[in-house]
Chain A
Amino acid sequence: ENELTQSPGTLSLSPGERATLSCRASQSVGRNYLAWYQQKPGQAPRVLIYGASSRATGIPDRFSGSGSGTDFTLTITRLEPEDFAVYYCQQYAYAPITFGQGTRLEIK
């Protein structure tokens, strides 16, 4: 099983600031099959990024993903109030599919 570790656990920032979230895999994620999801309270997750760096349909360009192998990053430039949520990374290269434990992005 490819274990994903996200850091930090909680990130406190203000609107307008830049957020950098990290996801590290215990094994290389083949073909960069790494996705990022956003989840708000009481809602289902929503895909933001897939293939490590491709934005899903309708996702604003302030969200970007990068990385390869075992180290991946989600960057949110110019935080908007609606961006404060929990973010999960997920590897989908091999079964079992695994998620990171999440990073909570909170308003400072």
Chain B
Amino acid sequence: QVQLVESGGGVVQPGTSLRLSCAASTFTFRNYAVHWARQTPGKGLEWVALVSYDGGTEHYADSVRGRFSISRDNSKNTVYLQMNSLRLEDTAMYYCARGSGPGSFLILEWGQGTLVTVSS
């Protein structure tokens, strides 16, 4: 069973920064792309970012490009989402998810999420 455990969520003010972490286990982490997606309470899903298996390729949603940065440390089986200049509309449950392959855009496994609330 693939395990993805997110952490780092919390309540922050607009304009501040937050770093989310996703710790992976039970699979060969370095072989898979990892995504972040988010879901506003009671609303639908929005894909946020993707990092390839080796960290060499990143993709971002237009809504976060230039503010968020995804990275990974394969020695720690961990992916990070650095979120800067946070806005009220960034409030959401943030999910870490594993791709189906090294650079895959298909999401096969999801973590349970960490909640980020941006509020003044």
Contact = CB atoms under 8 A, between A and B. Distances in A.
Given A99-B45, A99-B46, A101-B44, A35 B113 contact: no
Contacts of A101: 44
B40 to A, nearest CB: 12
A45 interface: yes
A88 interface: yes
Contacts, number: 58
Interface of B is mostly: strand
Interface residues of B, number: 22
Given A37-B45, A97-B107, A102-B45, 9 more contacts: A35-B107, A39-B45, A44-B110, A44-B113, A47-B109, A95-B50, A96-B60, A97-B105, A101-B44
Interface residues of A, number: 25
A1 B61 CA distance: 10
Interface of B: 35, 44-47, 50, 59-62, 95, 100, 104-113
A56 B109 CA distance: 11
